[in-house]
Amino acid sequence: MVQEEGSFNLDKLVTFEASWDPFDESDKYRGALNVANYMRSIAEPTLTGHFGGTIIGNLFGRYCQYSAAMVFVKVLHMNGGSGKTSYAKKKMILEARPFLEDSIKDAFSSGIPSCVKLSDLGCSSGPNALSAISEIIHTIHGMSKRMDCKLREFLVSLNDLPGNDFNNIFSPLPDFYKKLKKEEDDTLGHCFITEVPGSFHGRIFPSRSLDFLHSSCKAHWLSQAPAGLEKNKGHIYIANGSPPTVIQAYTNQFQRDFSLFLGLRSEEIKPGGCSSEGEVRTMVQEEGSFNLDKLETFEASWDPFDESYKYRGAQNVANCIRIVTNTEPTLATHFGGTII
């Protein structure tokens, strides 16, 4: 799907198992509670949206007892509260950590902007809503200390549906900022956290405004229930007895949504691959003939639909390639100047 959609190169694809196994003993609460927590971490926002938050603790408590009966694990009860699901989610975040770190290193290997613009899509609420972001900030800050010790600021946009409980994230923010500062040192620049309520099935950020985008446990959130589910009697998802047409209907919907998601994000993320400020600075320093007193960067018009130039569209792109990549002299030497 990523290849067919075409906006991104897939450098790395790693799958890992989340803790679903009812017999996994690595958790403090094992068995049925594991299963119930997992289901809760995925389904809670939808169920809360439909039925209100008051039934949720009780509902998953009963689900837990039901699972316990199914797997012969004795678990007596489960109280409500976000802390219970946070354990299951935290575990997923920990498992994903090394892959997240690798992606950050790849993304910023050629330089880190002075203000790093990050987003977490489908951030949810509760104690873990800021976990991934704090991991990302720590990793980038660590890289920045090793690279050039420049003070970096962070602009973080947390996205979820407008009905998400953003207040739940924002009231603990002062403590979050303090904790960040304490875990790092004075070399960590300011960090600004904002909310962007809206659906990631549509555009949510300006063009080329993000340096790094994170999203976890959200791929199963479809934009709509696909048509043709009437035959899926007695189920609200793909179950053992679901007919192939139902599986196909969900698959088609997922493919449409995910392709659209990739296309939209490719417009919002800054394109990589150009020499960054850091790269140029390092090269000038290493070569050694000049002192670099001042280095400024500005954006050239690459966008084929940018109307702010006299000649727009394809000509823009062609000019940009001709000038910026300096291909003209190479081509002229090889093929002669007349064809250029």
Binding site for ligand SAH (CB under 6 A): 45, 89, 122-124, 128, 159-161, 164, 199-201, 216-218, 221
**Cβ 43 to ligand SAH shortest distance, Å:** 9
d(CA 232, CA 237): 8
**Cβ 26 to ligand SAH shortest distance, Å:** 19
Of all residues in the shown chain, the one whose CB is closest to ligand SAH is 122
Given a contact cutoff of 8 angstroms between Cβ atoms, the answer to whether 130 and 84 are in contact is no
Cβ nearer to ligand SAH, comparing 45 with 278: 45
Given a contact cutoff of 8 angstroms between Cβ atoms, the answer to whether 118 and 154 are in contact is yes
**Cβ 143 to ligand SAH shortest distance, Å:** 23
Cβ nearer to ligand SAH, comparing 144 with 216: 216
Nearest CA to 213 out of 123, 142, 277 is that of 123
d(CA 38, CA 44): 10
Three-point CA angle 249, 254, 256, nearest 5° = 95
Extended strands (E) in 161-236: 188-197, 212-215
The pairing of strands 212-215 and 115-121 is parallel
For residue 212, what is the DSSP state? Answer: E
C-beta atoms surrounding 274 within 10 Å: 14
Containing H/E element for 263?
helix 244-268
**Cβ 200 to ligand SAH shortest distance, Å:** 4
Cβ nearer to ligand SAH, comparing 34 with 216: 216
Cβ nearer to ligand SAH, comparing 220 with 233: 220
Using the CB atoms, write b or e for 148-183: b if 16+ within 10 Å: eebebebbbbbbbeeebbbeebbeeeeebeeebeee
Cβ nearer to ligand SAH, comparing 33 with 43: 43
Cβ nearer to ligand SAH, comparing 123 with 143: 123
**Cβ 156 to ligand SAH shortest distance, Å:** 14
**Cβ 161 to ligand SAH shortest distance, Å:** 5
**Cβ 164 to ligand SAH shortest distance, Å:** 5
**Cβ 97 to ligand SAH shortest distance, Å:** 12
d(CA 281, CA 246): 56
For 224, residues 6+ apart whose C-beta sits below 8 A from its C-beta are 253
Token pair belonging to 225: 């229930």
Cβ nearer to ligand SAH, comparing 161 with 317: 161
**Cβ 195 to ligand SAH shortest distance, Å:** 11
For 189, residues 6+ apart whose C-beta sits below 8 A from its C-beta are 151, 152, 153, 154
Cβ nearer to ligand SAH, comparing 160 with 303: 160
Cβ nearer to ligand SAH, comparing 161 with 280: 161
For residue 226, what is the DSSP state? Answer: P
Q: Residue written as tokens 């799907």?
A: 1
